[in-house]
């Protein structure tokens, strides 16, 4: 009988302190706590899944643009490249799961019934980063955020509260949290040789108040108010269809019992003429409204709305700045994001930016970039130049990622998904063109492979968008103080010659004082950002005239 008992114990999952440990047939380890379930990948040596109240918190996409393989939790060697030769592992030791990346470090997950702590130690002789990626749907509702320096971007905190659906994860410890605008939410520990740091995660049900706070962050225009105006919103720019007009989308939820929405648009158009639509109405169906109206190109316009019940106003909203003008999507690597040495602020007050959810004045770091950089950008100055030429507001959706190579923008990877999400947010014919600035990371890449990747990305974007998206591609390869002449420049020219993309500026001409750190850097000084904008304007202004005149 005792042998039967022993055999049964061997076949059963290990039970410790209220949690259950199960080793699966493929070697993966599942830990079941009272209110969470964690899955460790034996092959990748990482935490591959974290379910709290039936909600998956871990990111399931490739997220770190320069990493060649998806691993949601791993060690990287400075400056961020995974040691591909390392055979990672995850093994169960008592009530802990030990994840190891040979030559880099070890992460010990101490599993408890309602929380766990991970202790990461650097066993290499160089700086190592321990990174965990959580779902981009997660929203941080509480944190002691502190700005990080310009070279790192984003913000850091030693404690956070994250909410997804009805689950809450709290985390604290000696951490460096990066509040990036990544599709994923990133937690990172920077470890010097021999250094150890820890993170603790706690799992509880989210309160109604916490769930509502997270919901408002995901959809800020949609609130618990009876009258929700999702569009238009403050600082929003709609792409004009011709020189003198464009669509404005009205959408949202009406109060109970309302059958129509009355609106009025006032302001000045691009010719300096006063605009006043008087009061027009939109129909409400099943409590919601969504209708596009034609508006003169120009702005900023003031938009007044009222929800009506049998002709009687019951609620109202006023939006102070709405424009009909020119919209662009920016993508590529660092000189398309926020890596300028200092900010280059706009002068006109007519340039806005969007991260796909909110619209805001374009100032300081541009929202929406994938890597969360926090330096200067050329977009505000470019918007000024276009506004001065056409007298219409300008909107920018910046979606690049610093340090990325062309291969990281393949359609199956997260950088592309982040970018195409912005394209879809703006809608069919919702912007003038994509502005692509990338090549420094592919300075020496062979011609055929780079050209094939670029053509595939551009054509796939048009298929995914459902319309022929114009692409401007800059000629760029500058990656040091020497004169740039990388083969990637020939790829850019081939795209123009083949008619796949339109000709963007040659920014390899930006040398000397145009670069940061007294001409020694690869990013741009304030003067360089303004000159970068001027080079783009030289290409875009004639094109816009050709489209609208």
The residue with greater pLDDT, 215 or 197, is 197
Exposure string for 414-439, b = 16+ CB within 10 A, e = fewer: bbbbbbbebbebbbebbbbbbbbbbb
pLDDT in tens, 108-130: 999 998 889 999 898 888 877 78
CA distance 317 to 70: 45
Q: Answer whether residue 181 shows pLDDT above 50.
A: no
Q: How confident is the model at residue 153 (pLDDT cuts 50, 70, 90)?
A: very low
Handedness of CA 96, 99, 103, 105 (dihedral sign): negative
Q: Answer whether residue 194 shows pLDDT above 60.
A: yes
Q: Do 136 and 214 contact (CB within 8 A), yes or no?
A: no
Residue 388 three-state SS: helix
Q: Answer whether residue 132 shows pLDDT above 90.
A: no
Count the helices and strands in the chain (H runs, E runs). Answer: 8, 35
Q: How confident is the model at residue 147 (pLDDT cuts 50, 70, 90)?
A: low
Residue 187 three-state SS: strand
CA distance 69 to 274: 56
| Secondary structure, 3-state, 496-539 | HHCCCCEEEEEHHHCCHHHEHHHHCCCCECHHHHHHHHHHHHHH
Q: What is the pLDDT of residue 218?
A: 62
Q: 316, 265, 312, 262: which is closest to 284 by C-alpha?
A: 262
Q: Answer whether residue 485 shows pLDDT above 50.
A: yes
Q: Answer whether residue 69 shows pLDDT above 50.
A: no
Q: What is the pLDDT of residue 78?
A: 41
Q: Compute how many other C-beta atoms are within 10 angstroms of the C-beta atom of residue 466.
A: 12
The residue with greater pLDDT, 61 or 324, is 324
CA distance 383 to 361: 11
Q: What is the pLDDT of residue 1?
A: 44
Q: Indicate the range of 135-139, 311-315, 365-369 predicted with least confidence.
A: 135-139
The residue with greater pLDDT, 181 or 396, is 396
pTM, rounded to two decimals: 0.73
Per-residue pLDDT, averaged over 10-31, amounts to: 74
Q: What is the pLDDT of residue 103?
A: 75
List C-alpha distances in Å: 191 to 119, 148, 319: 11, 17, 48
Per-residue pLDDT, averaged over 78-103, amounts to: 71
Q: What is the pLDDT of residue 155?
A: 59
Q: Answer whether residue 177 shows pLDDT above 70.
A: no
**Highest mean pLDDT out of 78-92, 157-171, 264-278:** 264-278
Per-residue pLDDT, averaged over 207-231, amounts to: 70
Chain mean pLDDT for the chain:
84
Q: Answer whether residue 214 shows pLDDT above 90.
A: no
Q: What is the pLDDT of residue 156?
A: 65
Q: Answer whether residue 67 shows pLDDT above 90.
A: no
| Secondary structure, 3-state, 429-479 | CCCCEEEEECCHHHCCCCHHHHHHHHHHHHHHHHHHHCCCCCEEEEECCCC
The residue with greater pLDDT, 71 or 331, is 331
pLDDT in tens, 225-282: 578 899 999 999 999 999 999 999 999 999 989 999 999 999 999 999 999 998 899 9
The residue with greater pLDDT, 420 or 82, is 420
Q: Answer whether residue 440 shows pLDDT above 80.
A: yes
Per-residue pLDDT, averaged over 506-518, amounts to: 90
The residue with greater pLDDT, 506 or 152, is 506
DSSP letters, 133-150, are EE-TT-EEEEE--EEPPT
> In the chain, what are the domains?
13-215 (2.70.98.10), 228-322 (2.60.40.10), 324-548 (3.40.50.1110)
Q: Answer whether residue 22 shows pLDDT above 70.
A: yes
Here the tokens at position 399 are 């979606």
Q: How confident is the model at residue 85 (pLDDT cuts 50, 70, 90)?
A: very low
Peptide bond into 361 cis (omega under 30): no
Place of tokens 């394209």: 423
Helices 379-390 and 526-548 sit at what angle, rounded to 10 degrees?
A: 40
CA distance 19 to 237: 53
pLDDT in tens, 270-328: 999 999 998 899 999 988 999 999 999 999 999 999 999 999 999 999 999 999 999 99
Q: Do 349 and 332 contact (CB within 8 A), yes or no?
A: no
CA distance 145 to 175: 12
Q: Do 164 and 135 contact (CB within 8 A), yes or no?
A: yes
CA distance 444 to 448: 12
Q: 345, 340, 337: which is closest to 371 by C-alpha?
A: 337
Q: Answer whether residue 66 shows pLDDT above 50.
A: no
Q: Answer whether residue 71 shows pLDDT above 70.
A: no
Q: How confident is the model at residue 471 (pLDDT cuts 50, 70, 90)?
A: very high
pLDDT in tens, 374-422: 888 999 999 999 999 999 999 999 999 988 899 999 998 888 988 999 9
* Parallel, antiparallel or unpaired: strands 29-32 and 36-41: antiparallel
Q: Percentage of residues in the chain with pLDDT exceeding 70?
A: 84
Q: How confident is the model at residue 152 (pLDDT cuts 50, 70, 90)?
A: very low
Here the tokens at position 332 are 């590529």
Q: Compute how many other C-beta atoms are within 10 angstroms of the C-beta atom of residue 138.
A: 23
The length of the chain, given as a count of residues = 549
Q: Answer whether residue 83 shows pLDDT above 60.
A: no
Q: Percentage of residues in the chain with pLDDT exceeding 90?
A: 49
Q: How confident is the model at residue 65 (pLDDT cuts 50, 70, 90)?
A: very low
Q: What is the pLDDT of residue 219?
A: 58
Q: Is 83 buried (19+), middle (13-18) or exposed (0-12) by CB count in 10 A? A: middle
């Amino acid at each position: 009988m005792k042998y039967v008992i022993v055999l049964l114990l061997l076949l059963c999952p290990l039970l410790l302190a209220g949690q259950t440990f199960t080793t699966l047939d493929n070697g993966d380890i599942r830990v079941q706590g009272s209110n969470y379930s964690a899955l460790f990948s034996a092959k990748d040596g990482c935490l591959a899944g974290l379910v709290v109240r039936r909600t998956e918190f871990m990111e399931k996409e490739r997220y770190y643009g320069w990493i060649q393989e998806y691993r949601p939790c791993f060690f990287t060697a400075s400056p961020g490249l995974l040691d591909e030769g390392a055979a990672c592992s995850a093994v169960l030791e008592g009530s802990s799961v030990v994840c190891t990346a040979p030559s880099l470090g070890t992460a010990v997950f101490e599993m408890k019934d309602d929380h766990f702590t991970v202790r990461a130690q650097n066993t290499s002789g160089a700086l190592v980063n321990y990174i965990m990626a959580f779902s981009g749907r997660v929203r941080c509702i509480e944190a002691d955020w502190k700005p990080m320096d310009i070279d790192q971007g984003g913000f850091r905190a030693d404690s956070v509260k994250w909410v997804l659906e009805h689950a809450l994860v709290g985390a604290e410890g000696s951490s460096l949290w990066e509040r990036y605008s990544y599709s994923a939410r990133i937690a990172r520990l920077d470890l010097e040789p021999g250094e150890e740091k820890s993170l603790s995660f706690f799992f509880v049900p989210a309160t109604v108040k916490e769930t509502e706070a997270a919901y408002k962050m995901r959809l800020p225009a949609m609130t618990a108010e009876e009258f929700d105006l999702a569009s238009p919103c403050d600082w929003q720019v709609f792409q004009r269809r011709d020189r003198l007009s464009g669509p404005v989308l009205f959408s949202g939820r009406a109060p109970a019992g309302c059958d129509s929405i009355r609106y009025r648009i006032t302001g000045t158009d691009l010719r300096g003429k006063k605009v006043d639509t008087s009061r027009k109405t939109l129909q409400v169906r099943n409590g919601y409204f969504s209708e596009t109206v034609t508006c003169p190109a120009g702005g900023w316009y003031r938009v007044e709305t009222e929800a009506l019940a049998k002709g009687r106003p019951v609620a109202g909203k006023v939006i102070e700045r709405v424009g009909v003008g020119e919209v662009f999507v920016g993508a590529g690597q660092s000189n398309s994001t926020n890596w300028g040495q200092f900010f280059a602020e706009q002068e006109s007050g007519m340039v806005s930016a969007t991260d796909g959810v909110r619209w805001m004045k374009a100032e300081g770091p541009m929202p929406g970039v994938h890597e969360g950089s926090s330096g200067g950008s050329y977009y505000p100055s470019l918007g000024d130049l276009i506004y001065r030429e056409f007298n219409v507001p300008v909107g920018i959706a910046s979606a690049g990622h610093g340090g990325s190579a062309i291969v990281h923008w393949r359609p199956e990877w997260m950088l592309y998904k982040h970018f195409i999400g912005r394209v879809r947010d703006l809608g069919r014919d919702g912007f003038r063109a994509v502005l692509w600035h990338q090549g420094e990371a592919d300075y020496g890449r062979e011609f055929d492979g780079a050209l094939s990747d670029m053509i595939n990305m551009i054509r796939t974007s048009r298929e995914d968008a459902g319309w022929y998206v114009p692409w401007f591609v800059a000629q760029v390869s500058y990656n040091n103080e020497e004169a740039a002449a990388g083969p990637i420049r020939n790829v850019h020219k081939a795209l123009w010659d083949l008619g796949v993309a339109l000709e963007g500026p040659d920014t390899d001409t930006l040398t000397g004082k145009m670069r940061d750190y007294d001409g020694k850097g690869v990013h741009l000084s304030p003067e360089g950002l303004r000159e970068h904008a001027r080079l783009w304007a030289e290409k875009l202004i004639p094109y816009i005239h050709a489209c609208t005149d």
